[in-house]
Structure 1
Amino acid sequence: MHSHANDGAVENWLLRVRGRVQGVGYRDACMRQARTVGIRGWVRNRADGSVEVTLQGSPDDVAAMTAWLRDGVPGALVTDMDATRVHPPFPHLDSFDRLPTQ
């Protein structure tokens, strides 16, 4: 379900999620949830064991997806999450994808 209560406002966020987030289906679950919510962006594993996520969408949808990232994946245990608003925003994204580990 998409939220359109913010007059077309689009936010761009970069998140780093730490804990037990690799090897538990976190990226695939993230892709499914983001596509369901209508969030655009990407997710990838990082070499340090964390997961990096970019989110682009309405403020309400980004807030809902951020909350979901914290505790929405069965088998994952998020111990820390850093979120940084991206200024200036990155270009309009068309989908939510899984990128290679970096």
Structure 2
Amino acid sequence: MKRVLIKVIGEVQGVGFRRYAQLKAQALGLTGYVTNQDDLSVLILAQGAYPAVDQLIAWCEHGSPMASVSSVLVEEDDADEIYLDFSVIQS
């Protein structure tokens, strides 16, 4: 299992990014969450099979149809919490 924190920077709030990210993650069988950050970025915690997590990271490079992604930062996360689904956290 792979677990990462993905920070997506650009015009990613107010363009449906979180909902599209949730749909993509669910389609890939991932668990975790997506939430807006105060700095106008979006933070995703994704856990699941290695190839599926990598596919979500690749998807984040362009994101939702109305998004304009300028960068994607990824870091491994070694916390041991287990998520049963992939949710949108309202901020």
Query: Normalising TM by the smaller chain, what interval?
Result: over 0.9
Number of equivalenced pairs: 91
What is aligned with 1:96?
A: 86
What is aligned with 2:6?
A: 15
> Which whole-Å deviations, capped at 9, do the CAs of 1:11-49 have from their partners, x for residues lacking one?
110011100100100001011111111010100001110
**What secondary structure does 1:71 align onto?**
coil
What is aligned with 1:85?
A: 76
Counterpart among 55, 59, 68 of residue 64 in structure 1: 55
Q: Which runs of 4+ in 1 moved over 3 A?
A: none
Matched, 1:44 2:32: no
Write the distance in 2 (CA, Å) between the matches of 1:42 and 1:16. Answer: 12
Cα RMSD (Å) of the superposition?
1.0
What is the percent sequence identity of the aligned residues?
A: 30
Q: Which has the higher strand share?
A: 2
Gaps of 5+ in 1: 1-9
Instruction: State the TM-score, normalized to the length of structure 1.
Output: 0.84
